[in-house]
Each structure stands twice: as C-alpha cells, then as structure tokens.
Amino acid sequence: MSNWRDEKAKANALALARLTKRLPEVFPQAVLIHAKARSYVPSTLRVAVDSYWRAHPLRAERLARVLAARSGSPAGWQWHVGDPEAGLPATFRTPPAPYRETAHQRGPGFCCVCGQPVYRFGWHADLWDAGINKNATWHSACVTAWQFWNAPSGQTKLLRRLQGRRCRETNRQLWRTAEVDHLVPLFQVWRQHRDRAWPELLGYWGLPNLQVINREVHVAKCAAEARGRRTARIAAAQDAAV
C-alpha cells in the first residue's frame, strides 16, 4: 500500500508543474509564494488567487473598501432594504452594495461589490495589459470581503489574535465562548448613519467596527442596547401623542 505522504508529494508535484506551465511573465508574487507553501498546491492560477485572499481576509476587506472609495456611490443612490428581487438587501444587517442593485449594475467586467473593473484571475489591477475580464463580475478579494462582512464570526480566531486574546470591553482574557461584536450596532448604523457616503458605510461591517468580547459581556451589551431601543420607542410614541 502506498504511503499517503508519497501520494501527496506526487499530487503536489503535478499541481506545481501545471501551475508553473500556465504562469504568465507577470503575476503577483505574494500569491505565488502562498500557493507553493500550501499543504496542497492549487493547480490553476485562479484557484491560487482565491486561496490567497481566503487566507488573508483582513487584507481583502480593506482592499474592497479602498476600491469602493474609488468608485463612490452612484448618482442619486440611497441605502434601502427590503426588495431582494431588485438587488436590495433584505435587512440592514447586510452591507449596502449599490452595484449589486439592478438599477446600478455596471455589467460584465465590473465588480458587483466595489464597482471597479475586474481583470485576469479576478485581480483588481491590470498587470497584464489585457483589459477587463468580461466573464467576471467579482474581484476575488471582494468575494472574501463580502463573506467577511456578512459572517465575521467565521474569523473569530483571527480577530482574537489581533486583540492579543483580551476582551475589548473588560481587558480580561477571552474565553472560548467569546463572540464577535459590532462596536456601533448595525441597527444604529441604519437609524443614525444611513445618509453617510456609501464607502464610509462599509467601514461599519469591516475591521474598524469589530471587536471580540466575552459572551457574558456581549449578552449584557445587547440587553442594554435593547433597553435603549425600547426607551426610544416609548419616547417617540409619547411625543407623537402630544
């Protein structure tokens, strides 16, 4: 019976040969280094690019916000929710994305998240002078960024490490049950900040607005926020009755 290590080494050698054969003269070196260092070497350059960004979600989400700032929001755009058929998010918890909306889509060759052109291998810059990739509507980095914004809890380990494994609220050690929290709650973003420029809004889903806190602290914070919302509703109802 063959040794699994030998089988793995053989598979990696074949994958590396295919990867090298298809390698253009210009290619992001960071991606290539990451691909060669993987336990299983990707056999295509596009998979190598996707793998790189999945391994660096914070770089991806930061880049996505920079690209969004280059595009800016479409003329006359406002953040709305509630009509998925028109490309609108179903809830305010989903990041606003004007270029995913039917009315503002830029079509093939442009990223539906940031609105910038997409080039070979889903890259965000035309390193090959080949023009935009008409078969793509996502940057590889923006795919990872979108996943991060919608499910930051999937990167709890990474965020814990960034915080030195200390609770942001109490400065005590983070327990295994620690949870990812938005510093400014998303309901508050919807109520108080929805008129801000779109690229700035994305920061509320990104790293600048994220923290990891112990579960009991998170529960207490959510309870305080709920009481605050209830108090605001009662005050608004009383004002309306006057």
Gyration radius (Cα) of the chain, Å: 22
Looking at residues 40-61, what average pLDDT do you find? Answer: 96
Neighbours of 62 (CB within 10 A): 16
Which DSSP symbol is given to 138? Answer: S
* Exposure b/e, 83-94, CB count within 10 A at least 16 = b: eeeebbbeebeb
Cβ atoms of 105 and 112 closer than 8 Å: yes
Burial class for 137, CB neighbours closer than 10 Å (0-12, 13-18, 19+): buried
pLDDT 10s digits, 145-201:
999 999 999 999 999 999 999 999 999 999 999 999 999 999 999 999 999 999 999
The predicted structure's pLDDT at residue 225: 93
Going by C-beta distance under 8 Å and a sequence separation of 6 or more, which residues neighbour residue 74? Answer: 98, 99, 104
Q: Please report the pLDDT score of residue 25 as a whole number.
A: 93
β partners of residue 211 = 181
Where residue 164 falls (left for φ over 0; alpha for ψ -120 to 50; beta otherwise) is left
For residue 24, the model assigns a pLDDT of 94
How much is the average pLDDT of 209-220?
Answer: 97
- In sequence order, which residues have a C-beta less than 8 Å from that of residue 185 and are 6 or more positions away? 225
- Across the chain, mean pLDDT equals 94
Mean pLDDT is lowest, of 47-51, 107-111, 121-125, 236-240, for 236-240
pLDDT band at 242 (very low <50, low <70, confident <90, very high): low
Tell me the C-alpha distance between 209 and 141, whole Å. Answer: 20
Distance CA 14, CA 25 (A): 20
Residue 26 is classified by DSSP as S
**pLDDT of 241 strictly over 90:** no
Q: Is the CB of residue 214 less than 8 Å from the CB of residue 175? A: yes
Which pLDDT band holds residue 1 (cuts at 50, 70, 90)?
Answer: very low
**Nearest-CA neighbor of 42 among 6, 18, 7?**
18
* Cα 29 → chain centroid: 23
How many percent of the chain have pLDDT more than 90? Answer: 87
Task: Report the pLDDT value the prediction gives residue 2, as an integer from 0 to 100.
Answer: 60
Confidence of residue 4 (pLDDT cuts 50, 70, 90): confident
pLDDT band of residue 240 (cuts 50, 70, 90) is confident
CA 1 to mean position of chain CA atoms: 44
User: What is the structure's pLDDT at 6?
Assistant: 87
